[in-house]
Amino acid sequence: MLQSSFITSDFINQIITEVADIFCYMHHQKPYPMIYQDLKPEHILIGETGIKLIDFGIASYLGEPGNKFQNYGTPAFCAPEKSKGSKISIQTDVYAIGKLLESLLRAKGEKGSQSLMHIVKKATNAELSERYLSIEAFMEDFTDHMQSEKNSIYQKHLLKKIVAAGSQPHIGTTHISISFTEYLNRQGIYTVYREKNQSEAMRMAIKQGGFAKDGGLYRKKNFFGMPAYGEGVDMDIPRNAVEILDYGSDVFGAVSEEADLFLFIIGSRQWETFYADLAFEKVESVKGLQIVSNYGDNRKAKHYAKKYERTVYCFPLDADPFFLTEEKITLFQRLLEQRGKSDKKHWNCRKYPRQWGNALIRGIGKLYGKRTK
Residue-wise pLDDT tens digits, 199-237: 888 889 888 888 888 777 898 878 999 998 766 555 667
Domains of the chain as residue ranges with CATH: 9-152 (1.10.510.10), 158-371 (3.40.50.300)
Task: Tell me what pLDDT residue 70 has.
Answer: 52
In angstroms, the CA 138 to CA 214 distance is 34
In angstroms, the CA 19 to CA 46 distance is 11
Counting as low any pLDDT under 50, the low residues of the chain are 69, 342-345, 350-373
3-class SS of residue 262: strand
In angstroms, the CA 45 to CA 337 distance is 38
Residue-wise pLDDT tens digits, 292-314: 999 877 888 889 999 999 989 99
How far CA 101 is from CA of 22, 62, 125, 329, in Å, comes to: 15, 24, 14, 24
Q: Which distant-in-sequence residues (6+ apart) come within 8 Å of 145 by Cβ?
A: 113, 115, 116, 119
Q: Name the pTM for this structure.
A: 0.56
CB atoms within 10 A of CB 163: 27
In angstroms, the CA 176 to CA 289 distance is 15
**What DSSP letter does each residue of 62-99 carry, written as one string?**
TT-TT-TTTT-S-GGG--HHHHTT----HHHHHHHHHH
Task: Tell me what pLDDT residue 362 has.
Answer: 30
3-class SS of residue 121: helix
Task: Tell me what pLDDT residue 5 has.
Answer: 52
Please name the amino acid found at residue 324.
L
